[in-house]
Amino acid sequence: MPDKKAEDTLKNEKGNKDTRVPTGIVNEIGEPQKSEEETKSGYVAVIGRPNVGKSTLMNRVLGQKISIVTAKPQTTRHQIYGIHTEAPGQIVFIDTPGMHQGQSKALNRYMNRAAKAAVSDVDLILLVVDALRWTEDDEQALSALKGAKVPVYLVVNKVDKVPQKEKLLPFLQEVSAKYPFERVFLISASKDKGVDELVAGIYEALPKGPPIFGEDEVTNKSVRYLVTELIREKLMQRFHQEVPYSVAVEIESWEEEPRITHIHAIIWVERDSQKAMLVGSGGEALKQVGIQARQDIERLLGKKANLKLWVKVKKAWADNDGLIQKMGYKDEF
How many Cα atoms within 13 Å fall on the side-chain side of residue 255? 6
With 0-12 CB in 10 A as exposed, 13-18 as middle and 19+ as buried, what is 73?
A: middle
Indicate whether 75 pLDDT > 90: no
Write down the domain spans for the chain.
17-215, 222-326
Provide DSSP, 70-94.
-SSSS---S-EEEEEEETTEEEEEE
Q: Which of 220, 10, 204 shows the shortest CA–CA distance to 94? A: 220
Average pLDDT over residues 108-124: 66
| Calpha distance 129→295 (Å, rounded) | 32
The pLDDT value recorded for residue 147 is 81
Q: What are phi and psi of 82, to 5 degrees?
A: -115, 120
The pLDDT value recorded for residue 330 is 53
Average pLDDT over residues 222-250: 82
- Candidates 3.40.50.2300, 3.40.50.300, 3.40.50.150, 2.60.40.420; correct CATH number of 17-215? 3.40.50.300
Average pLDDT, the chain: 80
Q: What is the pTM of this model?
A: 0.71
Cα torsion 6, 12, 17, 18 to 10°: value is -40
Indicate whether 98 pLDDT > 70: no
Indicate whether 16 pLDDT > 50: no
The 10 Å CB-count burial string (b at 16+, else e) for 90-111 is: bbbbbbbbbbbeeeebbbbebb
Q: Which residues contact 174 (CB under 8 A, 6 or more apart)?
A: 134
The pLDDT value recorded for residue 36 is 54
Indicate whether 145 pLDDT > 90: no
| Calpha distance 43→224 (Å, rounded) | 24
The CATH-assigned architecture of domain 222-326 is 2-Layer Sandwich (3.30)
Q: How confident is the model at residue 333 (pLDDT cuts 50, 70, 90)?
A: very low
Q: How confident is the model at residue 162 (pLDDT cuts 50, 70, 90)?
A: very high
